[in-house]
């Protein structure tokens, strides 16, 4: 049996999933909108990150950080640093195409 490839779901949440997201991730329409605006501002302040600016892309970073924009920007930078340090990763081309993938040396602190 063939394994289906991984695909990110970016469709609107159904009611059951919405309730789980609200309870476990703090995801309400108000929190989501405020977090998107703040993450967009934080990313805009960092002139060395090139990224997609659409809400769906920003939600990819906000959901795992429970809609805390400060944590989401750290996650974005961490991913870009991994791309720079590990250029042979299979998914690197996808991220570079999707987000631009450039981080300045200041972000390349040793792990």
Q: What is the pLDDT of residues 51-80, one digit of tens each?
A: 778 888 899 899 999 999 999 999 988 887
Neighbouring CB atoms inside 10 A of 81's CB total 15
Among 65, 85, 86, smallest CA distance to 74 is for 65
> pLDDT averaged over the chain?
78
Please give the pLDDT value at position 29: 93
Q: What is the pLDDT of residues 97-111, one digit of tens each?
A: 455 444 433 444 444
Distance from C-alpha of 111 to C-alpha of 23, rounded to nearest angstrom? 33
Confidence of residue 87 (pLDDT cuts 50, 70, 90): low
């Amino acid at each position: 049996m063939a394994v289906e490839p991984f695909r990110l779901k970016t469709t609107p949440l159904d009611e059951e999933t919405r309730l789980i997201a609200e309870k476990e991730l703090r995801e309400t329409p108000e929190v989501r909108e405020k977090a998107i605006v703040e993450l967009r501002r934080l990313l805009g302040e960092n002139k060395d990150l090139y990224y997609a600016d659409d809400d769906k892309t920003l939600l990819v970073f906000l959901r795992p950080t429970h809609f805390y924009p400060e944590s989401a920007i750290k996650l974005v930078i961490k991913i870009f640093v991994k791309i720079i340090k590990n250029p042979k990763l299979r998914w690197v081309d996808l991220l570079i195409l999707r987000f631009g993938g450039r981080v300045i040396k200041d972000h390349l602190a040793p792990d």
